[in-house]
Structure 1
């Protein structure tokens, strides 16, 4: 709520207290007859009796109507407007502000909630920025509705004061009707006790030529008396209806007062409470997001510590193993030494085998050479020519 609206609401509260503290007077039920009235009331009744002219039908028909003129001006100007126009929009504004708050879902705060199929299809997420925009929209709606409520409140306050005036004038009209009724009944009593008996005596005392005229005057007087009696009866009915309208006015006024009190309580107490709750919801979500970020950072730190410790252990194991190894592995040296010994032994064996084969070959060569010489010698001994040719090719020992 803006500071301006808050100041207006606080100012309206004093006006509400002022109008709700007014106590309206209650109407008096009994009509005081002329003979029982005190001097001031008796004078008022006699003044209204003087308005009756028995010879004028119009004065009888309009008897007591002048008291209603001012009341009609007030009631026609405001009652229909108050009942049908002003109360409805105020109630609509109250319902509107409730609907606005109810439409604000705190579940939208959860940015980690599972998105609906429609949100996934439309590519909609639930970021905190979107919720903040929604909060600002709700806040603007609350401000707009509170302005409307203030306008309705001032209108209702004006109507309550007008209803006070209407009630006061209606009560005066109610009391005025009592005076007119008392005046009419007193005049009827005078007619019954004085005027009509006097006119009857005139008819009886009049000569025969004037009796018809006097009898008509008597009938006119009695007719006027009956008209006055019917008019007084109508005034009694009007007074009864007026008496019923007084609680109706008060009922409308009490409803307006209750609505004004409710509006003012909503503006002064409820709306700030709602705004506080909304602000708390935003703050709580911010704290939740901050806590989630801290938790994620702590989880990452723990994961890094665990991973680094495992990596350090593995790396240290490898390094220490390599550090503890010699330049050459003893197994490799043993194998190389065995292979070297084998190589030397193979070389010696092969050399011995070669030496033996060569020695054997030399023996074979000597044998073959001896055999060849023997053959050649035998050939020369035959002297067939072959030996000469062969001996020429054979080497000499």
Structure 2
């Protein structure tokens, strides 16, 4: 809730207390219809002044008898209805329901900051749980600010209506009392007509001559018709007074409902909404703390894993290094193998040398043999005395 709305709500709280402190008067015995003969001098004067408004020869004065008392009341009612539209019915209650629906839509239990996004959420590009959580909080905060602002406006309208209803109740109560005076005046006038005016007019008809008797009889009939109209008008005023008496508790009931609603709205704005906002802020903080705790836990787990891995690596490395340190420059087995290989190599070399020497000796013998054979062949060819053989034979040098 914004600071402006909060400040206005606190200022309105004083107005709500003032409105609730107003006590409206109830109709008492003074509002009863009092006959003229038993009325106090002041009331008797009021009744006589209203009797003077009746002109039995003027039908309009009879029909409109008592209507002047309702004029001011009608003006107040019309002023209250000015600007009222059907859409304005019940907006404050709707605002309260909207706040409840908004808060209930914020479900913390559905949030798990530790879980990874599902493949479906990744496919749709949905945000991570905590990012979604904070975005939801910001959305709820904006909705609460908007609803509380509307509630404050409705609260001002309801306060205005309550004050108007106070005025309407006072004027209705005055109208109720005024109707009692008009009814008393009408009944007194009817009584006067029945006991004085109509009998007097009847006497005039009886005493009139034949030429004037028809006119006097018509006047008597008109007077009796006017009397009946007045009686009906007085009856209507009695019905109106009864309805007016019923409207007084109706006004009080509507006003009490408005007062209760204003009190509820003010309590919601001043107490409930800040409490909700505090709880929501705590929820966000708790989630952030949970996320931080998870990060710390992961760091601790990583540290423990590193310590364990390093200890194992140290042990393995130490074992390998110590083993290498305790070894000689050459392993005895390697030396023995190398010595055996060397001896075998020397023996093989000697054997190969002997074999090579034997092969060279054999080859030399063969070479000598082949040389002797060639020489003998060439000698045989020379003894035959052919020129080719001589040339060929002499071309081979003699052996020493």
Normalising by structure 2, report the TM-score: 0.80
Q: Match of 1:163?
A: 165
Correspondence for 2:294 among 292, 295, 300: 292
> Could you tell me how far apart the structure 1 residues matched to 2:103 and 2:135 are?
15
Q: Match of 2:375?
A: none
Q: Show the 5 A alignment for 1:40-79.
A: 40-79=42-81
Q: Match of 1:263?
A: 265
Cα 1:214–1:101 shift into 2, 3 Å: same
> Could you tell me how far apart the structure 1 residues matched to 2:165 and 2:130 are?
51
> Could you tell me how far apart the structure 2 residues matched to 1:178 and 1:82 are?
32
Q: Match of 1:380?
A: none
Q: Show the 5 A alignment for 1:372-383.
A: none
Is the aligned partner of 1:31 residue 2:65?
no
> Could you tell me how far apart the structure 2 residues matched to 1:231 and 1:263 are?
46
Q: Match of 2:235?
A: 233
Let me know the Cα RMSD of the aligned residues.
3.2
Is the partner of 1:106 in helix, strand or coil? coil
Correspondence for 1:329 among 303, 324, 331: 331
Residues 35-69 of structure 1 deviation map (CA, whole Å, 9 limit, x = unaligned): 22222222211111111122222211111011111
Q: How big is the shift at 1:206?
A: 3.1
> Could you tell me how far apart the structure 2 residues matched to 1:300 and 1:222 are?
112
> Could you tell me how far apart the structure 2 residues matched to 1:223 and 1:302 are?
112
Greater shift, 125-134 or 149-158, is seen at: 125-134
Is the partner of 1:14 in helix, strand or coil? helix
> Could you tell me how far apart the structure 2 residues matched to 1:256 and 1:351 are?
130
Q: Match of 1:8?
A: 8
Q: How big is the shift at 1:346?
A: 8.8
The number of equivalent residue pairs is: 362
Q: Match of 1:17?
A: 17
> Could you tell me how far apart the structure 2 residues matched to 1:34 and 1:260 are?
46
Contact 1:108 1:131 in 2 (8 A): no
Cα 1:83–1:16 shift into 2, 3 Å: farther
Contact 2:62 2:230 in 1 (8 A): yes
Cα 1:189–1:333 shift into 2, 3 Å: same
Is the partner of 1:41 in helix, strand or coil? helix
Q: How big is the shift at 1:213?
A: 2.7
Cα 1:350–1:197 shift into 2, 3 Å: closer
Is the aligned partner of 1:306 residue 2:308?
yes
Residues 1-28 of structure 1 deviation map (CA, whole Å, 9 limit, x = unaligned): 2222111000011111111221212224
> Could you tell me how far apart the structure 1 residues matched to 2:60 and 2:341 are?
156
Residues 95-148 of structure 1 deviation map (CA, whole Å, 9 limit, x = unaligned): 333333333343575344353565222222316445434433332332222222
Contact 1:184 1:232 in 2 (8 A): yes
Is the partner of 2:90 in helix, strand or coil? helix
Correspondence for 2:321 among 288, 301, 319: 319
Q: Match of 2:282?
A: 280
Normalising by structure 1, report the TM-score: 0.81
Q: Match of 2:101?
A: 99
Q: Match of 1:90?
A: 92
Greater shift, 281-290 or 134-143, is seen at: 134-143
Q: How big is the shift at 1:351?
A: 11
